[in-house]
Structure 1
């Protein structure tokens, strides 16, 4: 009996990604850029819902779970809007560009994996998934087991960005604090991807 495809067993994403950071960010080729035939859908309880979104946006930000940080990310990206943990559906039938967001803890990464499985199986509505952003869930270095799991989960997305903790956000700062370099590269990436009118062939970068 043929086994279902498993895009998360793909390559050694964690070790090779840090070795070089090209001057112009947008870099390592995505393994998965569209849904796959033969991918098994997750259980209904593990799928994100659908929501018809009024208006327009250059980019739709979908949190894989509550507390994923999608509102913070939307504030950083001009023209972005959040979808409140649902895949967006546009009334005019056009294809939305979507960024999936989760936290770097076990719950966040597991829900992101479920959402990516849903997308890869074709069970999500039609959308252009740009990638997955994994936000740190606590100050300091993320434990190795979670970093490794994030690399595996990210292997099921067209692109992966891992973003560090921002202490000022913890205290509810309303102004944008100085951000680590990973965020500046991330913002630049999304600005390019959200305005690209051609099919996305840009490579994938895992931030250090």
Structure 2
């Protein structure tokens, strides 16, 4: 019930962004690079041998962080063997500092991932933009560089 489904994925994507829940920022993050693809809130299933590079996206509200924790548990259980999980991208759901209960929940959720990246609140992303990289926070550009380094053969 709390598990993400798996779906076959087309070959050729450098990275698949899996939203742990609706509104996670999956399509916004996938829009940072033309070789990245939004997973449609589902784990990718590789057509051939090898694993698909994946990041999980979530928002930093309680529902989002809980969904990210559950996705990490699903991955750790071995239920998605064709996934090469690179990490979690937590996108702030509001401006300002996270309240302590949410900071604690983020620590728990992030503990199930190889890496954690934080993206601060972006008013430009909230109101919509044609180019999420140009209008987004600098952390989005840093994420792009880091992930392209991790996924370049």
TM-score by length of 2: 0.91
Counterpart of 1:103 in structure 2 is: 59
SS at 1:129 equivalent: strand
Query: Which has the higher relative contact order, 1 or 2, with Cα contacts under 8 A spaced 6 or more apart?
Result: 1
Return the offset for 1:194.
Answer: 1.3
Counterpart of 2:149 in structure 1 is: 192
Counterpart pick for 1:82 among 38, 44, 47:
38
Return the offset for 1:116.
Answer: 0.3
Counterpart pick for 2:23 among 53, 67, 70:
67
Q: Which ranges of structure 2 fall in alignment gaps of 5 or more residues? A: none
Q: What are the within-5 Å matches in structure 2 for residues 26-37 of structure 1? A: none
Larger helix percent = 2
Counterpart pick for 1:127 among 62, 83, 89:
83
CA RMSD of aligned residues (A): 1.5
Counterpart of 1:182 in structure 2 is: 139
Return the offset for 1:180.
Answer: 2.8
Counterpart pick for 2:50 among 90, 94, 106:
94
Q: Which segments of structure 1 move beyond 4 Å, counting only runs of 4 or more? A: none
SS at 1:76 equivalent: coil
CA distance in 2, matches of 1:91, 1:132: 24
CA distance in 2, matches of 1:77, 1:141: 28
Q: Which ranges of structure 1 fall in alignment gaps of 5 or more residues? A: 1-44, 198-208
Counterpart of 1:21 in structure 2 is: none
Number of residues of Structure 1 aligned to a counterpart in Structure 2: 152
